Each structure stands twice: as C-alpha cells, then as structure tokens.
Structure 1
Amino acid sequence: MESSRLHRDIPAYDEDIDFVMLASQDPDFAKVVDPVTKTINFKDPKAVQQLTKSLLKRDFGVSIELPDDRLCPPVPVRYNYVHWIQSLLDTTSDRYDDRYDPDRKVLGLDIGTGASCIYPLLATSTRSQWRMFGTEVDSHSLDFAEHNVHLNDLEHRISLRRSTCDGPLIPLGALGLKQIDFTICNPPFYSSKDDMESGYALKAAPPSAVCTGAEIEMICEGGDAGFVCRMVDESLVLRDRVQWYTSMLGKLSSLHTVVARLKKAGVKNWAITMLRAGSKTRRWAVGWSFVNRRPRNDIARDSDISHALLPLPAAQTIATSLKAQDASHSLNAILSGLDLRWNSATGIGFAKENVWSRAARRKHLRQKTDLETSGGAEASNTVTEDSNTTQTSNDNGQEDATLGFKIMIEDMAVTVRWLKGEDFVLFESFCSMLKRSLSTRTQS
C-alpha cells in the first residue's frame, strides 16, 4: 500500500476543486454532490468530511476516519503548507542546489496533530524518506490519529505521543530526539469564545462551511499569535536543534505579532508566505531558523505580504551588457583572483570573510607571490580541471564560511543568490564588488 504513494510530485493546490471531476473519480464523493448545482452542502458535516476523504484518497493514496466532534481539515490549504515546508527544506539543504534530494532523511514534529493526523500523513505520503512525530493533548483526538496511522500502515514512519497543556510545545527531550528538521503546527486561532464569535461577526459573510472543531482545537491563551510566540521562546533555547520552526496562522494580525517577536529576539533568518487554496481560503505561514542557510526569495518573501514583514532579500540581479559566455569568463577571472572557494561548474562559492576589499586582495596577492617565489605556486591557488574549482590552500571549504553564494548567468544579467550567512551587509558588499568589476570589464 505504501509503495504506491512514494515519490509523488504533487503541486500546490491553486484552483478551486473541480467537484464534477472528483465525483467522476470517486463514487463516494458523487453521493454528496448536488446534481443540479454541481457542488456540495458545506453546512453538512458528512459532506465536508467526504470531500476531505476523497481528496486524500485521490491525490495522496491516504485513507482516514474522522469523529463528528473534531475538526475536519480542508486538504488544499493543509497540503499547501506541507508543500511550502518541503520547498523551505529543499532550498536550505547542505547540498546548496535548491532541489529536492530524494535520499535526504528528514524528521519533522507536528505540534497538535489532531484527530486526522493530516500533516504527518501528507508529509510521509509525498516524501519517501520523511518520518514524523506528532504530539496531541486531547486523548480523543489522539485515539483517532493513531487509528489513521494504522489505517495507512505507517506506524514505522509516524510516531504519536500524548502531551500536556502545561508542558513544552517542542519536547525534544521527552521524545528522545537530539535534532529534527522542522516543526509543523496549526494552533488554535482564537484566544476566547468572545474572540471567536467576534471573528465570525467581522466576516463579510457567514462562514461558508460548518465547523465541528472542539473548544480545545479552536481556543488557547493568546490565540494563534500567543501560541506561536511561545514557540519562539522555546526556540531561543533549542536554537539549531531544529532547522526550521514553522506554524500556520489564521489572522494577518497574528503574522504581524509573530514577526515583531522574531525581530525583537534577534532572529535574522525567517520566511513567510500566504497559503492560498482556491478563490476563498487564505491563511499565513511563518518559519524561522538559527541555521544560516537562506531560502530562495520565492519561498521566503511572498509578494502579496506587506514589505515590512518580509525578511531580507536573498538575491540580487546585476544588469550587464555582456552575453552569457562573456559574463562567465569575466566572473571566473574576477573570482579566481580572490581568496575564496568557487566552482564555476555549479556557480556556487563560499568565502570566510570579505576577501574582495582592496586590503584583502593586496594581502592575498602578497601571499601568492611569496609562495610562488618559494616554489609553492601549486599550494597557493589550485585549479581542478574536471570541476573548474578554485580554492586557496588555507580554505577548509564551506563549513566555516560566513558567505555562501550562487551565481546564475544569462545574457545581459547576472543573478547572485545568497545561500549562506547572517551578514546581509557582507552579501551586499559582494554583489556591489561584482557589479563594479563587471562594469569595468564591459567598458574595457
């Protein structure tokens, strides 16, 4: 059963669900579709449950059973959140290639997994090397979650644990975990019943779908913003024991609160996105990391979110008048004269510090001249022909680099992607150096 679900490349849900097509593919769903309107009654809990079950069955090969008195998770926005985390990890791996590595073993933690256990099921059904832990404070939900894991024969990849309301949200020690790759979380949105009722009252129209969520799923102290700020506080202790801390948020105001908390805590690497699912649903997701690998701009900087909330840009494009081949030759000449690691075959490089300042270049030239004079030319600057890699003798690679970058070359444009580092000024300085150097070579 499991093998049929592995290595699935499923894109994010962008459009509204085609109910007619889904009904033609799943007889159980056809039973709840109105033959005249070609839609379902979103006020009917059974119809809403069947939509979730049918989408999971068709798109992910997953089967679940749900209680009538707990949340029925809409699949599109939940999967879009999982898909975003996958992209977040793919663009911040230690391979620095911005691609999915099917051999990478990933371990995640779902905080408050709910009766459906939907996040662990979606994560493991689309990535064959991913394993998940899940915590849940509600015993009724936990019983159903464990049943759904068993229903899909995933006990060897999904482990669930009972947690407590007053315990840590990220209990790595209690779970026997030293490190994990990410957290995923859909916290209660509201801080009280009054908050929940006022939230409904402020909507332009009544809720379009029935909500079967229990109070424990809908309400917590401080709402979703308070919950995630607790996660931020715990992350300041755990730090890089988790590569990416993430959570969904139900209100844009909560995103403002959480980003402000991250900035106040001195977190320098975060990512945000709007989770769209069809024409109506909008949620937000935030992630932050103490590992200094930078996600791609399209993953971390959603263009539909206020600029004030966005993290620092991780790419700069330099306009030139050079054709791609000429720009490539120029860049190789520029970078081979610097004390850094540079692989022209991949376009990836690493520097321990600012090695492009005048003082740094003069120092490097003196060292190179001294070594050549003493017969050590090969040790000072070696070029491996098959990989086109230039590396100075005192460079130990990427681990202790303060700047990692990738250069992508097109006709009339060079894009520099920030791969690693915490110092944005250093990245900007590097880009400025390349712009000046390319401009000089163009004029000559």
Structure 2
Amino acid sequence: MAKKTKLHPRNQHSLGYDFERLVAELPELEPFTMSNPVGQTTIDFQDARAVRMLNRALLKVHYDIEFWDIPAGYLCPPIPGRVDYIHYLADLLADSNNQKIPRGRHVRVLDIGTGSSLVYPLTGQSEYGWHFTGVDIDAGAIKSAKKIRDLNKLTISLRRQSKPENIFRGVIRSGDAFHLTMCNPPFHGSIEKASKGTQRKWASLGKGRSTKLNFGGQNAELWCPGGEIKFIARMVEQSVEFANQCLWFTSLVSKKDNLQPLARILKRARVADYKVIEMAQGQKTSRFIAWTYKKKNQRAQFGKREQI
C-alpha cells in the first residue's frame, strides 16, 4: 500500500493504489506491475500501456466501469487528480445548498473538452449521480467517448464543438441550465512548449529524458495559441452570454502566475463572485477558478429552481 496522499478527504485514492485489489479485479494489470526500490508495487508510468491498464482497473474497482479504453495517442489522465476536481466542485455546490452536497441527475454539469477518456463524467456520475454533458472539438475523442458511454450503458450527453474559436457558443442551447461548467484547458502555447514541459516533468521525477508527451495527448488536448490564459480568457468572455443559464463556471489553472491576470479579466467581466480553490495533490498543488454572475441569494434560488 502506498503512503497516504494529500487528496480530497472523500477521494477514494487518498491511501494510494491498492494493487492487490486492483489485480484481483483486473488480472490483466499484473504483467505491468513491478517493485520500486523500497519494495512497493507500482507500474512504469512512462509505459502508456501500463497507465491505460491501471486506469482501467481503477475505473472498474472504484467507479463500476466495466469497459474503458482510449485510442493510441490520446491523453491518458491520472484518475486520482482528476476526481479531486469533482469532489471540490461538490463542495462548491454545497456552499449554495446549506452545506449539503447535492446528488442526483437533476444536477447538470457541462464538461468542456471531455476527451476520449470521458474521465470526469464517469467519475462524477458514479460519485454523485450528476448528469454530464461532455463537449469536445475532436471527432476521434467524441467517437471514443460514445463507445465508453454506450458499452457501459450510461446516460451521458455528448456534443461536438464545430468551431475552434468557440467554447460555450454552439454547445449551450437555449433550454439548457447547468449548475456547473468544468474544463481542463490546454496548458501550453505551442507543441514545442508542450514537449519541453514534459521533459522538465520527467527530469524532476528522476525519470531522465522521454521522447513522449506525458500520458500522450492530441494537439488540442495539450496546447492552443496563447496557452491556457488565452483559452480561459475566451471562456470568461463567452460566459457572459450564458450568465443566466449557469450557476458556476470553472476551469483548472495549471500556472499560479496566471491567477492575477485572470482575476483582472474576471473583474472586467463584472462577475458577482469568483474563487480560487486549491487542491493539494502529493508533492504539488493544483487549483481551479470558479466564477458566477449570480449574487449569493440568487445562487440559492437557482438551486431551488433547478432542484439542486
């Protein structure tokens, strides 16, 4: 058993990976396991096949997902960190609901850039029963997400974003109402910066050099012109148009230095409130920003109207 991590208290992975249980439930994982220098069971995280098999086992054991796979070359997300975002979003909703976490399909979440893995809808639906609408610009990602959804007989809506310059436009429809929007935006401003970022990460982990991008990833998953700050700025700009249809807009922010300029952008958008929520994960701290155009009393009313 790995040592305890600093994940959210409700995160099922806060005690690390229970490889004995994972292998018992998914024997195909066993050939990819190995012992680290202190005798703990682990896998080679530079091996894309091993990471995919670990994710398959985690999703089966903890989230009742019988089928999960992604096409070669697509982003293979680390499950524990991803599900932390879900748990902190649940806490954010509880703040508008008398500190009670809302559960059930009446809670609607829009996942921007859902990806081929469908990781947020899979884990969020399992943990809280929320209804997810996943959006992606990549046809291959949508095809993979549909396969995962259909083979697991899940009710998850999927929509294709047809215009690269749009985020909410074209996918939020006139009759929609969402309690949350969420996004893990592309971090880098170019493919060159994405590659350099991966090399720095492997070096800091003592893994040497790797010619592969960390956990794979298509271009749209890893980089866009201007990087995450430009992407989130565009998200804020478009969110104004849908202020009455969404309670909280949120996005992960990988670079702490981006928080200050993003705060200025949010103030110019005249949001009613915004928060920076930190998530301690192992040796690093990640974070997301959340903003709303609804005042505190309006948030409670939105919840009642939509049966939060």
Specify the TM-score bucket, using the shorter chain as the normaliser: 0.7 to 0.9
Q: Secondary structure at the match of 2:120?
A: helix
Q: Aligned equivalents of 2:181 and 2:175: distance in 1?
A: 13
| Kept after mapping to 2: 8 A contact 1:44/1:210 | no
Question: Residues 211 and 99 from structure 1, CA distance in 2 versus in 1: closer, same or farther, beyond 3 angstroms?
Answer: same
CA-atom RMSD in angstroms: 2.6
> Matched residues in 1 for 2:12 and 2:248: separation?
20
Matched residue, 1:182:
180
Quickly say closer, same or farther: Cα 1:268–1:67, change in 2 above 3 A.
same
- The separation in 1 between residues aligned to 2:164 and 2:34, in whole angstroms, is 46
Report what 2:60 is aligned to: 57
Counterpart residue identity of residue 60, structure 1:
Y
Amino acid at match of 1:99: K
C-alpha distance in 1 between matches for 2:90 and 2:274: 15
1:272 aligns with 2:276: yes
| Deviating more after overlay: 259-268 vs 206-215 | 206-215
1:125 aligns with 2:131: no
State the TM-score, normalized to the length of structure 1: 0.58
**Which 4+ residue blocks in structure 1 deviate beyond 6 angstroms?**
none
Which residue number corresponds to residue 48 of structure 1?
Answer: 51
- Counterpart in 2 of 1:228? 232
Separation of aligned partners in 2, 1:250 and 1:161? 25
Supply the AA of the counterpart residue of 2:119: I
Distance 1:204 1:29 in 2: 23
Correspondence for 1:191: 189
Q: Is the 8 A contact 1:111 1:185 kept in 2?
A: yes
Say how many residue pairs are matched.
281
Task: Report 1:9-408 matches (<5 A).
Answer: 10-11=10-11, 13-35=13-35, 37=39, 38-62=41-65, 63-93=67-97, 97-102=98-103, 105-128=106-129, 130-154=130-154, 157-171=155-169, 175-200=173-198, 202-203=200-201, 205-206=203-204, 210-277=214-281, 279-293=282-296
SS of match in other structure, 1:126: helix
Between the aligned partners of 1:216 and 1:34, the Cα distance in structure 2 is 33
- Give the drift of 1:172: 6.3
Pairwise CA distance, 1:206: 4.8
Structure 1 residues 275 and 151, CA gap change in structure 2 (3 angstroms)? farther
| Partner-residue secondary structure (3-state), 1:276 | strand
Q: Deviations over 1:271-326 (max 9, x none)?
A: 2222333x2454221111112238xxxxxxxxxxxxxxxxxxxxxxxxxxxxxxxx
Partner SS, residue 146 of structure 1: helix
Q: What do the CA deviations read for 1:120-144 (whole angstroms, capped 9, x no partner)?
A: 112222223x211111111111110
Superposed displacement of residue 57, structure 1 = 0.9
**C-alpha contact (below 8 Å) 1:77/1:281 kept by paired residues:** no
Q: Secondary structure at the match of 1:52?
A: helix
% identity of equivalent residues: 28
Match of 2:33, SS? coil
**Corresponding residue for 1:347?**
none
Question: CA shift at 1:34, angstroms?
Answer: 1.0
> Of the two structures, which has the highest relative contact order with CA contacts closer than 8 Å and spacing of 6 or more?
2
Q: Distance in 1 between matches of 2:199 and 2:31?
A: 33
Q: Which runs of 5+ in 2 are unaligned?
A: 1-8, 208-212, 302-308
Task: Say if 1:172 and 1:178, in contact at 8 Å, map to a contact too.
Answer: no
Distance in 1 of aligned mates of 2:197 and 2:273: 31
Which residue type is aligned with residue 230 of structure 1?
A: R
Encode CA deviations 1:125-182: one digit per residue, 9 max, x unaligned.
2223x2111111111111101101112211xx31111112435311366645332111
Q: Indicate the larger mover: 41-50 or 249-258.
A: 249-258
